[in-house]
């Protein structure tokens, strides 16, 4: 008979996740936000019809729409920056269950100091090492923040897909860069594959958040044994989000153009544009269509 495989030793102490993880890349990646701002400037003065519940609402500019995308991403940048600060609390020196058994009393401070030097971030030792050893709440917060960012980015991609849909029988307000032939049967069809791949990344991130939440809940007593799957989820989600933002910027947003003639025709034929929103003193400024009354 074959001999049994050797047993792997598994540490019984708390898992130590890299404090920085890959958050530096995500936080530093403000290129997509700036790309939307730049495109907004390029679309200045182009009037279009805004929509609520997929129905025509009131006029706005394409610049305002794209600047809204940029502001959304700026808010997510702020949220991700904030949550990373809480990743700086560590439990090194806690050993098995947080009592510090078998650890040199100087170890916790030495480890904290060296980690701070290596990462360049504020690293602090948790005030209660027993609580810090059993608690994984910060990882749920990180995952939830990533999911929120992914969902908002996916919503932006939904808007881009709709705004670029057509070209003959739909909105067709903007042109997305053609990156892939859509069909051998319909040779003129070009699918919005870049926004779609970002949608798919968002689905993965949402699923990862469910996995991490279940792993956090499944811990018992003084140690959560499911740190490996939590680390896997966070590393993968960070990697996917970084790549998704980069490809959306490079392969889609920076190449978008406006269908000015179609937008002009839509505005000219829009009833509210003539009955309610036009006249002396009406203009599209920082807030949509402000009119002064003589």
Consecutive 10-residue averages of pLDDT for the chain (294 residues): 49 48 64 96 96 93 97 94 89 93 96 92 94 94 96 98 92 94 79 97 98 96 94 94 96 97 91 51 47 40
Residue 290 φ then ψ, to 5°: -95, 130
Q: Residue 240 belongs to what H/E stretch?
A: helix 227-251
The answer to the question of residue 289 being in a domain is no
Q: What pLDDT sits at residue 4?
A: 54
Write down the pLDDT at residue 279: 44
Q: Is residue 294 part of a domain?
A: no
What's the structural domain count of the chain? Answer: 1
Q: Which two tokens stand for residue 114?
A: 């060296």
The pLDDT of residue 180: 85
* 243 assigned to some structural domain: yes
Active-site residue flag, 275: no
Residue 161 is assigned to a structural domain of this protein? yes
CATH (domain of 234): 1.20.200.10
Which candidate in 79, 149, 183, 287 is catalytic? 183
Residue 47 lies in a domain: yes
Residues in the chain: 294
96: tokens are 């098995």
Quote the domain boundaries for residue 94. 23-269
The conformational region for residue 14 under phi > 0 = left, psi -120 to 50 = alpha, else beta, is beta
Global pTM value: 0.85
Residues 6+ apart with CB under 8 A from 174: 62, 160, 163, 164, 256, 257, 258, 259
Is 99 part of a structural domain of the chain? yes
Judge contact between 64 and 284, C-beta under 8 A: yes
Whether 288 is covered by a domain: the verdict is: no
Helix ranges, 95-226 (H): 107-119, 129-134, 137-163, 193-217
Query: Is residue 238 classed as helix, strand or coil in its secondary structure?
Result: helix
């Amino acid at each position: 008979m074959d001999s049994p495989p050797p047993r792997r030793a598994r540490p019984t102490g708390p898992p130590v996740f890299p404090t920085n993880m890959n958050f530096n890349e995500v936080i530093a990646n403000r290129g997509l936000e700036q790309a939307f701002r730049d495109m907004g400037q390029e679309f200045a003065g182009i009037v279009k019809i805004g929509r609520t519940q997929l129905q025509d609402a009131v006029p706005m500019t394409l610049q305002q729409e794209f600047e809204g995308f940029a502001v959304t991403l700026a808010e997510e940048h702020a949220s991700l920056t904030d949550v990373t600060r809480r990743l700086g609390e560590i439990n090194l020196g806690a050993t098995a269950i947080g009592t510090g058994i078998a650890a040199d009393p100087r170890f916790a401070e030495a480890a904290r100091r060296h980690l701070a030097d290596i990462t360049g971030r504020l690293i602090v030792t948790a005030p209660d090492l027993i609580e810090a050893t059993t608690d994984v709440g910060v990882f749920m917060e990180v995952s939830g923040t990533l999911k929120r960012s992914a969902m908002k980015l996916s919503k932006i991609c939904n808007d881009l897909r709709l705004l670029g849909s057509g070209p003959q029988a739909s909105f067709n307000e903007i042109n997305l860069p053609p990156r892939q032939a859509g069909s051998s049967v319909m040779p003129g069809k070009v699918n919005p594959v870049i926004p779609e791949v970002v949608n798919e990344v968002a689905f993965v991130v949402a699923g990862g958040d469910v996995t991490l939440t279940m792993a956090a809940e499944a811990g018992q007593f003084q140690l959560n044994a499911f740190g490996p799957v939590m680390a896997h989820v966070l590393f993968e989600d960070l990697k996917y989000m970084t790549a998704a933002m980069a490809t959306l910027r490079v392969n889609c947003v920076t190449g978008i153009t406006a269908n000015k003639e179609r937008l002009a025709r839509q505005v000219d034929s829009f009833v509210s544009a003539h009955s309610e929103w036009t006249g002396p003193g009406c203009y599209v400024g920082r807030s949509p269509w402000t009119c002064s009354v003589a």
